[in-house]
Amino acid sequence: MLAPLATIGGLGLATVALHLRDPHESGSWGLCPSAALGFWCPGCGGLRGVNDLTDLRIVDAASSNLVLVLAMPVVIFLLGRWALDSWSGRLRTPMDHRLNAVLLTLSLTALAAFTLLRNLPAGSWLAP
């Protein structure tokens, strides 16, 4: 149980920190290296998005980083499943691992497409 609880606890602390120190203020969390180089990485706007979600401003969060908002329920489900599996001692089957590999591949492909699109003029609405 240590690994899932430490992960969930760390994410919880980071979320509280993002709620308390507003990333919408320029330089409050430093400078984004990819934005400084002139392109939007898939994580750009993520800190602002988490801050917006802590204030229940879902539309604002989606405007900052749409992928973050869409991925949040999946991430919460996976963290919960990991914690429950650790607590109950359940081991996943090889079929579960194959399905996870397929989902990971699809997710990484979608993330690459999102990154490419948000840096093109046609996808400028996806930029933070």
pLDDT 10s digits, 52-74: 999 999 999 999 999 999 999 99
Q: Is residue 30 part of a domain?
A: no
> What range does the domain containing 116 cover?
2-25+38-126
Q: Is residue 58 part of a domain?
A: yes
pLDDT confidence band for 97 (50 / 70 / 90): confident
Q: Is residue 33 part of a domain?
A: no
Number of domains observed in the structure of the chain: 1
Q: Is residue 76 part of a domain?
A: yes
Query: 14 with 92: CB under 8 angstroms?
Result: no
Helix (H) or strand (E) run with residue 99 in it: helix 94-118
Q: Is residue 64 part of a domain?
A: yes
Query: 74 with 107: CB under 8 angstroms?
Result: no
